[in-house]
Amino acid sequence: MSVRSILIRNGRLIDPAARLDEAADVLLKEGRVAAIDGAGKIKERADTVIDARGLVVTPGFIDLHVHLREPGQAHKETIASGTAAAAAGGFTSVCAMPNTAPVNDSIEITRWMQAPERGAVVNVFPIAAATRGSQGKELTDFAALHRAGAVAVTDDGKPILDNSVMKQALLAAAHLRIPVIQHAEDTRLTVNSPLNQGPFAFRMGLRGQPPEAEGRIVERDVALARETNAHLHVAHISTAAALEAVRNAKRHGVRVTCEVAPHHFSFIDSDIGEYNTNYKMNPPLRSEADREAMLAGLVDGTIDAIATDHAPHAAFEKDVEFERAAYGITGLEVALGLAITRLHRAHDVSLRHIVALLSANPARIAGLPHRGTLAKGSYADVTIFDPAKKWTYDVSQTKSRSRNAPYDGMTFHGKVTHTIVGGTVVYQGK
Amino acid sequence: MKKNARGSLLAIEPLTQAQITVYLKMARRMDPTRPKPLLKNKRVVLLFYESSTRTRTSFEFAAKALGATTTLISASASSIEKGESLIDTGLTAQALGADAIIIRHPSSGAPYVLARHLNVPIINAGDGMHAHPSQALLDAVTMLDHFRTLKGLRVLITGDILHSRVARSNVQLLTKFGAKVTLCGPKSLLPELAEKLAPGLKLVRDFDEALRGIEVIMMLRVQKERLQGLDIDARDYVSHYQLTMDRVRLAAKNAIVMHPGPIIRGMEITDEAADCPQSVILEQVRNGVRTRMAILAHHVGGKR
């Protein structure tokens, strides 16, 4: 339902970009934030009033890393279904990865993804392929893709392995002030390796990916980013060594940012148990030491954002031999629950910090002005959640077309109650 | 896991000592030359995605000795070649009336896929590099023919541990019973990680040193089909890890020589060592039938 104005009353407003964490009311009008003031101080009448007593009101969440699967793989997900899942998870904007079929390496596909006919219920910001067909050889036309709406470039799903291609990509992206997002995996070390290398993989009789496969690429990329003065963004970081490389780079003033997926701070390789393919993704779940490193990186600010790497797959692609199963799990609907349960409640990460990881920081990384904040004049993208609400995930109720999540039946704290995009409520939770 | 998980034999790891003992005791009572109709009117499907001589034949003989009808579905001569998925193949076998499916598959964990989706018992006859529970059981039966108990038994497993489901299942079984298990092999085929397979495992690189005092010498084949580009210098391997009569003599006087087969004479073992009086390699093969009779009787036979 589209309304002209919404007044959100009595909530706890957390807007990290504006350094706000206080009781405040928010007035949304004509797609923008019209006013922020102390509780009860906004006297203007609104078409809709949301009573946010006991709830947290924040800038709409932004997911830097989702696979919406369109064009070409609508049996896994569509832009409509994926964004509906995003809305249910409190995300008002998603950045869509280019590993579609065909790969999004053209302005035509970039525009097609943003067309109203796709039926997106949240903002979709395409991320274009960095190389043609994501083959890692010839750069795409970054400038044209950027003009068509791409907010970053990446060959996600695969790394940009070649040194000179990566360097060219960084130089071209720096010129446009957009990040190069790297899927850091030295694929020469990960052939037929469906999980992390370690005692668990050995016991299960599976070949493991050595953690160096991630660390080495991040180290190389950091050096190239330093050389080119470009913005490198490391996707789904998962190992202690890679994180340490990012930490060092930041210390030396290199423009590097990174994101972590909720599953990498929540689970480890042995959670795969008896070959449960819903715990199979790339990068794989790592060791407990790596997971702890992710927690430390979140606490000390080395990790800039939480991104879901939402990767839907049909049952027939997952319900197969572990080695043959598709990589990836869905994650949009549980990201906040995992962050609050695993970070806030278990490790004392403040709600303000979590909100920054989900909104202000990703907005900055993807270069989305007037998003990731509720400062007056910003887009009226708002997420409202109940941080104390306990709930159980039921995958049969998912908005996604796919059900490849390990979260079915898991209980979380922290539930989205309202997702507002451009001043319109697109999701209302129970 | 679904309802039939307890009815399946997927790995040694989740079993208790008592559960394993049930199979071992039963196996020693089984005699392939004296058929028992425990599986009368049962249909047993042998679903083989990978080649096999011993395991397939002995499961088949075992099933037949118990009165069952068997049929073989092999990857190269079925709809599997046309792209039928593992689940669909399993469901098809079940719909055809299978009372149990014995599966051999090159991919670790494949039997679990069937166990999750089917209602009939799934017997793992070897999955990738993961497990070969019936082999570990028949090996234990063989050891118990020669030694009073597994407790404290000094067992040395030598060779390509990395790719060996036999090694993994044997390690799980033997350590559960308190055997003293040592693993031996070059780094490329025996990574340090192997030590964490089970508590109390020892890892020794030098074969001669490892052999001292050993009661069970278990040799493994270098699995050429799983090496994936790993380069093994055969001459170097032979000089360091081939079981020769000189090396057999380094072990305990009453030591037995075991090998799950297929043996590659001249590579991991010499003719003399393979055929020496201490060799029980063919006893293992013979024990395969009665052990698999026990497995089938336990999982498929009797009142269900």
Based on the fold, state whether residues A17 and A128 are members of the same structural domain: no
Question: Shortest Cα distance from A417 to chain B (angstroms)?
Answer: 34
Average pLDDT for runs of 10 along chain B of length 304 = 63 97 96 91 96 93 96 84 91 96 98 96 98 98 98 98 97 98 96 95 97 98 82 90 98 98 95 98 97 96 61
Residues A61 and A91 sit within 8 Å (Cβ to Cβ): yes
- Residues of chain A contacting B110 with CB distance shorter than 8 Å: 321
Does the residue A104 lie in any domain? yes
Enter the tokens of residue B220: 């493994």
- Residues of chain B contacting A320 with CB distance shorter than 8 Å: 85-87, 113
Does the residue A33 lie in any domain? yes
- Residues of chain A contacting B13 with CB distance shorter than 8 Å: 203
Q: Which residue ranges of chain A lie beneath pLDDT 50?
A: 1-2
Does the residue A344 lie in any domain? yes
Based on the fold, state whether residues A234 and A179 are members of the same structural domain: yes
Residues A234 and A309 sit within 8 Å (Cβ to Cβ): no
| Cα separations in angstroms, B173 against A275, A281, B19, B62, B110 | 21, 31, 11, 22, 21
Based on the fold, state whether residues A209 and A108 are members of the same structural domain: yes
Burial of B134 (0-12, 13-18, 19+ CB in 10 A): buried
Based on the fold, state whether residues A336 and A360 are members of the same structural domain: yes
**What confidence score (pLDDT) does residue A50 get?**
97
**What confidence score (pLDDT) does residue B141 get?**
98
Based on the fold, state whether residues B278 and B170 are members of the same structural domain: yes
Based on the fold, state whether residues B99 and B169 are members of the same structural domain: no
**What confidence score (pLDDT) does residue B139 get?**
98
Based on the fold, state whether residues B272 and B252 are members of the same structural domain: yes
Smallest Cβ–Cβ distance between B86 and the set A204, A206, A321 belongs to: A321
Based on the fold, state whether residues A284 and A152 are members of the same structural domain: yes
Question: How far is Cα A380 from Cα B51, in angstroms, rounded to an integer?
Answer: 63
Any idea what the CATH number is for the domain that residue B41 is in? 3.40.50.1370
Based on the fold, state whether residues B22 and B145 are members of the same structural domain: no
Based on the fold, state whether residues B154 and B272 are members of the same structural domain: yes
**What confidence score (pLDDT) does residue B304 get?**
43
Q: Is A210 on the interface with B (CB under 8 A)?
A: no
Based on the fold, state whether residues A324 and A339 are members of the same structural domain: yes
Does the residue A374 lie in any domain? no
Domain containing B226 equals: 134-285
Based on the fold, state whether residues A338 and A309 are members of the same structural domain: yes
Based on the fold, state whether residues A105 and A42 are members of the same structural domain: no
User: What number of other Cβ atoms are within 10 A of residue A56's Cβ?
Assistant: 23
- Residues of chain B contacting A197 with CB distance shorter than 8 Å: 193
Residues A60 and A91 sit within 8 Å (Cβ to Cβ): yes
Based on the fold, state whether residues A52 and A160 are members of the same structural domain: no
Question: How far is Cα B71 from Cα B101, in angstroms, rounded to an integer?
Answer: 10
Based on the fold, state whether residues B188 and B90 are members of the same structural domain: no
Based on the fold, state whether residues B42 and B101 are members of the same structural domain: yes
Does the residue B243 lie in any domain? yes
Question: Shortest Cα distance from A205 to chain B (angstroms)?
Answer: 4
Interface test with B, best of A191, A209, A316, A322 (most B CBs within 10 A): A322
Based on the fold, state whether residues B68 and B18 are members of the same structural domain: yes
Any idea what the CATH number is for the domain that residue A18 is in? 2.30.40.10
H-state helical runs in A371-416: none
Based on the fold, state whether residues B70 and B94 are members of the same structural domain: yes
**What confidence score (pLDDT) does residue A3 get?**
59
**What confidence score (pLDDT) does residue A96 get?**
98
Beta bridge mates, A24: A11, A38
Any idea what the CATH number is for the domain that residue A195 is in? 3.20.20.140
Based on the fold, state whether residues A79 and A181 are members of the same structural domain: yes
Based on the fold, state whether residues B195 and B157 are members of the same structural domain: yes
Based on the fold, state whether residues A337 and A203 are members of the same structural domain: yes
Based on the fold, state whether residues A43 and A64 are members of the same structural domain: no
Q: How many domains does chain B have?
A: 2
Does the residue B304 lie in any domain? no
- The catalytic residues of A are 309
Question: How far is Cα A248 from Cα A266, in angstroms, rounded to an integer?
Answer: 24
Q: Which residue has the tokens 């922290």?
A: A414
Does the residue A330 lie in any domain? yes
What residues have CB less than 8 Å from A162, skipping those under 6 apart?
A136, A137
Question: How far is Cα A8 from Cα A231, in angstroms, rounded to an integer?
Answer: 37
Chain B residues touching chain A at CB-CB below 8 Å: 1, 10, 13, 85-87, 105, 107-110, 112-113, 117, 127-131, 165, 168, 191, 193-194, 196-197, 228
Based on the fold, state whether residues B187 and B44 are members of the same structural domain: no
Based on the fold, state whether residues B194 and B62 are members of the same structural domain: no
Domain containing A356 equals: 60-366
Smallest Cβ–Cβ distance between B193 and the set A191, A199, A322 belongs to: A199
Q: How many domains does chain A have?
A: 2
Question: How far is Cα B142 from Cα B289, in angstroms, rounded to an integer?
Answer: 12
Does the residue B160 lie in any domain? yes
